[in-house]
Amino acid sequence: MPFESYEETLPFAAAIRRATQEKTMPPWFADPKVGKFSNDPSLTAAEIGTLVAWAGAKSPAGEAKDVPLPRHWTESWSIPRPDLVLKMPQAVPLPANGDIEYTYEIVPTNFKENRWVQMAEVLPERHSNLHHAVVYVRPPDSNWLRHAPVGVPFTALTLTDPEDRRGAHWTDSDVLLVYAPGSSPDAWPDKMAKFVPAGSDLVFQMHYTANGRAASDQSSIGLIFSKYVPEQRVLTLQLTNDHFVIPPGAPDYRVEARGTLPNDAVLLSFLPHMHLRGKRFEYNLIRKILGADGKPGYAIEPLLRVNYHFHWQMSYRLAEPRFLKAGTELQAVAWYDNSKANPHNPDADAEVHWGEQTYDEMMVGFFDVAVPAGVDKQHFFMRKQGNN
């Protein structure tokens, strides 16, 4: 349903009036009272008024001289033309039905020198089968999935080495980017970039879902490199709780995760992740305070509140990146609707636990931070003396 010309847009005039008035379009799920985000596409009241007036006035075409120039699209990428495209070397066959284990493919970068990535985008070949892709950076000195085959698809079940098998379920390797339906590609602010050391591999973790038709997928990642060595390195961190039990039918079940920043960092963006029972998600700063009665208590400052929708997994980029001191406590809170009233609920009678399949649940609050360019994830988690 492109709206690129008058002729294309005209039949949707009434739907556009309704969708913009009801604020279902453009898609955005953050509570407007909390935080300001640079990728917020929400229309102003005046813009909505213009569209409503246009639809109400029989949708006139306007003056020919005001028609904008046609947009130029670059080979389906949303980022500008990538400097490098790395494709999964082998296609992954996808069955018509049944669960599909997380599928991995290790893609060598063959980088002879360290590279800094300013923008990145996953281009799925088979959108309708891809629930998510997480692309990790595996530096040459990392033992993660070290005995796993390179350039061919594999799952935890096909690995023989027990350490590799564990690695197919958990890693602390840095994430280059996360793709999920509705997500936008990553572009880090000026002077900040993701680091890919020379000789690294990219590890594609693909979660496919069957949709009734057998198919195959061979997705790609497009990279745009920084023009110079940035001052800061971007790390993707997460607040996770994987030991919840959501009772059958629970309409508003709360799950929380907390973490303390071991070192100073600049907070950049958020990406909440739950599955089909996800309802709301919020990120907060928690500060210890002394109450009026002199007793210690907590002050909670909300950073983001999202009315979660599984089909629209968006990242929320702070309009003003925020400096956080070592010792800052962050909290993520997720709410789940496991009742019959949730139209996406696959089974309201099920007790729901953490799991990789869509009918299981997850609670992950991804967030990006910028740290000094020389600090990697391991060093970031070493507390400096004096940091509490």
Residues interacting with ligand HEM, by CB under 6 A? 12, 15-16, 19-20, 25-27, 41, 43
Minimum CB separation from ligand HEM for residue 348, in Å? 22
Select 142 or 345, whichever has its Cβ closest to ligand HEM: 345
Distance in angstroms (rounded) separating the CA atoms of residues 259 and 327: 9
What SS3 class is residue 112? Answer: coil
Minimum CB separation from ligand HEM for residue 88, in Å? 25
Select 28 or 335, whichever has its Cβ closest to ligand HEM: 28
Minimum CB separation from ligand HEM for residue 11, in Å? 10
Minimum CB separation from ligand HEM for residue 367, in Å? 21
Minimum CB separation from ligand HEM for residue 360, in Å? 24
Minimum CB separation from ligand HEM for residue 181, in Å? 9
Select 49 or 95, whichever has its Cβ closest to ligand HEM: 49
For residues 270 and 365, is the Cβ–Cβ distance under 8 A?
Answer: yes
Select 183 or 263, whichever has its Cβ closest to ligand HEM: 183
DSSP state letters, 177-227: EEE-TTPPPEEPPTTEEEEE-TT-EEEEEEEE---SS-EEE--EEEEEE-S
Helix, strand, coil shares of the chain, percent, nearest 5, are: 10, 40, 50
Name which of 369, 312, 10 is nearest 189 in CA terms.
Answer: 369
Query: What is the four-CA torsion angle of 88, 92, 94, 98, rounded to 10 degrees?
Result: -100
Minimum CB separation from ligand HEM for residue 164, in Å? 37
CA-angle at 236, arms to 365 and 106, nearest 5°: 110
Bridge partner list, 299? 287
Select 25 or 348, whichever has its Cβ closest to ligand HEM: 25
Give the up-direction half-sphere exposure of residue 130: CA atoms within 13 A in the CB hemisphere. Answer: 25
- Which residues lie closer than 8 Å to 328 by C-beta, 6 or more apart? 260, 261, 285
Select 19 or 187, whichever has its Cβ closest to ligand HEM: 19
H helix intervals, the chain: 6-9, 13-21, 45-56, 162-167, 377-380
Select 50 or 260, whichever has its Cβ closest to ligand HEM: 50
